[in-house]
Amino acid sequence: MKIIIAGAGDVGFHLAKLLSYESQDTFIIDLDGDKLNYINNHLDVITKRGDSTSISLLKEIGISSADLLIAVTDSQHTNISTCVIGKSLGAKKTIARVDNSEFLNDCEVDFKNLGVDFMISPQELAADEIKLFLDQSSFNETFAFENGIFNVVGVSLTYQSPLLDLTVKEAKELYADVDFITIAIKREGTYQTIIPRGDTRYQLNDQVYFSVPSSSLEKIYPIIGKKHIHLKNVMILGGGSIGLKTARNLCNSKFNVKLIEKDRDKAEYLADVLNNALIINGDGRDLELLEEEHIRETDAFVAVTDNSETNIMSCLVAKSKGVKKAIALVENMDYIDISKTIGIETLINKKLIAASTIFTHIRKGEILALANLHNIDAEVFEFEVKEGAKVTQKPIKDLRFPREAVFGGIIRDGEPIMSFGDVQIQNKDKVIVFCLPEAIHTLESFFN
């Protein structure tokens, strides 16, 4: 499969990294030579310096034989133009990253007819994920598959968790009435991602990821030593596109929303378009302002300014004032691990979310959904099982599944099934799998 990526920023790099594990024929175009040099030093892909809207450049790298053209530069105009030109030169499928939500919702312009097959908005995706975090607020990471039939949730184990010092097998026997599968553990102080086995033991401060059907979400709270937090009052810092979209999502879900924006013109605009939110013109870093706006009575604080440092620091302040849930937009990839060590459990990186969403298109429909875990260099896939696939030929325990991957659950006819050893996967099942990068190619062979 030949894939051309326009844009060597975080989205393009993460996509290229996923593809490099699979030996895809991947090209990356960018005007920034430093970004391309970094990619050359870290990934096995082909880079080309230049303008992605250049017809001669696209022809030079063989656009006519491209299976997929992905335009993810920082400019939506460049992305749309790249897709339109690429499609007219023979690219089979095109995907453009856009910022304008009008292009996604009830748009009267037929972009597909122009040459743009799919559009994704990192801001829309980030706003949707923030709402999901607030709906399932006791977890620091959460992903819903098939509208919540199965959920992958992450939590850091504290002294309050009864799981401490138990093995995975012991925990399953002790809590046999709760359906859950431990799919991954990130151990504090290490870069190691553990694919748990029966004798793996839970330790203090482990970041543990569970796959849980909706019927067991409430039951898992006592096991992890937490209570389900009901959030009502939400304060948002930053009135950019993500702040606006998040406020709109939350107001529609009957949250009480306050939004702080320091730019007066922007604050007045937000007040006009957000009828059910209280808009405050001020600097959210001002402690006196936060106290005046009753930060101590706020249930959740969401920092989505353009500055990662501001988001992290303001969330730390909010936590120190007793806010139950703090969510920070962190664009600097280097800050993600650091943020968790200093107490910001829940992070949003819109570029990683966008890359994961785009990756589902690369899989030719085999993968229905993909979730990126912020703290782990791995992915959670949702596969649709094809007729005659290797994964259907034996019970799970006899499949010789790669040790770098683990089943997280099965959805059959809209119902969740726990993926234990005696279960045999069937044609048309939807299967959730956690997988380390080195096993993606092997994993794919089970679902072909």
Which one is predicted more confidently, 399 or 230? 399
Task: Name beta bridge partners: 224.
Answer: none
Euclidean distance between CA atoms 306 and 302, whole angstroms: 13
- Per CATH, the number for 126-131+230-349 is 3.40.50.720
pLDDT in tens, 303-339: 999 998 899 999 999 989 999 889 999 887 667 666 6
pLDDT in tens, 42-90: 888 999 999 999 999 999 999 999 999 999 999 999 999 999 999 999 9
pLDDT at 365: 46
Return the structure tokens found at 289: 């302002």
pLDDT at 370: 67
Burial 87-115 (b: 16+ CB within 10 A, else e): bebebebbbbbbeebebeeeeeeebeeeb
Q: If you average pLDDT over residues 168-196, what whole number do you get?
A: 89
pLDDT at 343: 66
The CATH topology of domain 142-224 is Alpha-Beta Plaits (3.30.70)
Q: Which runs of E-coded beta strand occur in 344-414?
A: 346-348, 367-372, 379-384, 405-412
In the CATH hierarchy, which top-level class contains the domain 353-447? alpha beta
In the CATH scheme, what is the homologous superfamily, with its name and number, of domain 2-120?
Answer: NAD(P)-binding Rossmann-like Domain (3.40.50.720)
Euclidean distance between CA atoms 10 and 341, whole angstroms: 22
pLDDT in tens, 394-437: 999 999 998 889 999 999 999 999 999 999 999 999 999 998 87
Euclidean distance between CA atoms 433 and 254, whole angstroms: 34
Which one is predicted more confidently, 361 or 218? 218
Same topology between domain 126-131+230-349 and domain 142-224? no
User: pTM (2 decimals)?
Assistant: 0.75
* DSSP, residue by residue, 251-314: HHTT-EEEEEES-HHHHHHHHHH-TTEEEEES-TT-HHHHHHTTGGG-SEEEE-SS-HHHHHHH
Q: If you average pLDDT over residues 10-37, what whole number do you get?
A: 86
pLDDT at 338: 66
Return the structure tokens found at 130: 């923030």
148 C-beta neighbours (distance < 10 Å), count: 16
The residues, ordered by sequence, that sit 6+ positions from 250 with a Cβ below 8 Å of its Cβ are: 131, 134, 234, 257
Can you give the residue ranges of every domain in the chain? Answer: 2-120, 126-131+230-349, 142-224, 353-447
